[in-house]
Amino acid sequence: MSSTGERSVGDSATTLLRIPPLAPARGRAGLRGELRSEWTKLRTVRSTMWSLVAMAAISVGLMALIAWALMNRWNRLDPGERTNLAHHPLEVILARPVFISQLVVAVLGVMVISAEYTTGMIRSTLQSQPRRLTVLAAKVAVFAALMLVVGEVLSFAAFFVGRQVIASHVPVDLNDPGVSRSVVGAGLYLAVLGLFSLGFGAILRHTAGAITAVLGLVLIVSNLTGLLPDSWGHHINAYMPTNAGLLVIQPQPQPGDLLSAWQGFGVFAGWTVLVFAVAAFLFTTRDA
């Protein structure tokens, strides 16, 4: 019995000795590898695909249905409504879809990083790539590229589909003043909003809390600042992140606007940079 056990131990030891050693590591984990890793994580998570499908359904499908319903009852609309639609066609085929789609973008942006904290995967990520700023930069680059492509594709798709739906009563063309900039700006706005939300996710590290903070800012706080009195209240309202950012979607400036379209977008981008400065500081100083 003992001799058999000794032979088994000896055979196992011999087998282990025959296993070739692993090749020594060459170089070090860098941004390129982290970009591939973040892209793999982003495209294989089920929530990403469902979020993009929801954006497409809202931007193109729901918008086309609403526009078709309006055109179908055109003769029964109030003359004021017909005049408003004729002068602001992008309100239906672009602005409203963006307003709803931004909710999906905000949720997706938060979850890009907060989901890793919820599942504990962030520890594995930081073990494989200890340089935290590299990790954060890779997340930002991959998500920004995805949202920019998706945002622009859906913006142009919504415009061309919506244009066909309303063409019988409200003609609109990319060559009309401010229209092409509005369509391009819609995609840019959604991309920056996604990054803005990602920054909040990195700061709060809690999915529900970060989503509540972003949506509360977008839907409630930004609108409540319009109730502040006097000119200082008007200025605060104009410089709120999404209030300023949405100016890039307006084909023409409106009375009372303090910022031009690109100035507003620049203000929104500046807020996003500020959020990421805080996020980067906390990401590199806090424990995972």
- Is residue 251 within 8 A of residue 182, CB to CB? The reply is yes
The confidence score (pLDDT) of residue 26 equals 53
The confidence score (pLDDT) of residue 262 equals 96
Q: What is the pLDDT of residues 128-145, one digit of tens each?
A: 888 899 999 999 999 999
Residue 13 covered by a domain: no
- Is residue 211 within 8 A of residue 110, CB to CB? The reply is yes
Which domain range does residue 121 map to? 32-285
Report the number of distinct structural domains present in the chain: 1
Residue 37 covered by a domain: yes
Residue 6 covered by a domain: no
The confidence score (pLDDT) of residue 204 equals 94
Q: Which segments of the chain have a pLDDT < 50?
A: 1-2, 5-6, 8-10, 12-13, 15-17, 19, 22-25, 27
pTM for this entry: 0.86
Spatial separation of the C-alpha atoms in residues 217 and 252, rounded to whole Å = 25
The confidence score (pLDDT) of residue 121 equals 87
Encoded tokens for 74: 């055109």
Residue 272 covered by a domain: yes
Residue 140 covered by a domain: yes
The confidence score (pLDDT) of residue 137 equals 94
Q: What is the pLDDT of residues 10-38, one digit of tens each?
A: 454 454 445 455 444 454 557 888 899 89
Spatial separation of the C-alpha atoms in residues 115 and 108, rounded to whole Å = 10
Residue 10 covered by a domain: no
The confidence score (pLDDT) of residue 29 equals 58
Residue 19 covered by a domain: no
Residue 18 covered by a domain: no
Place of tokens 């090749």: 23
- Is residue 245 within 8 A of residue 192, CB to CB? The reply is yes
End-to-end CA distance of the chain: give it in Å, rounded. Answer: 51
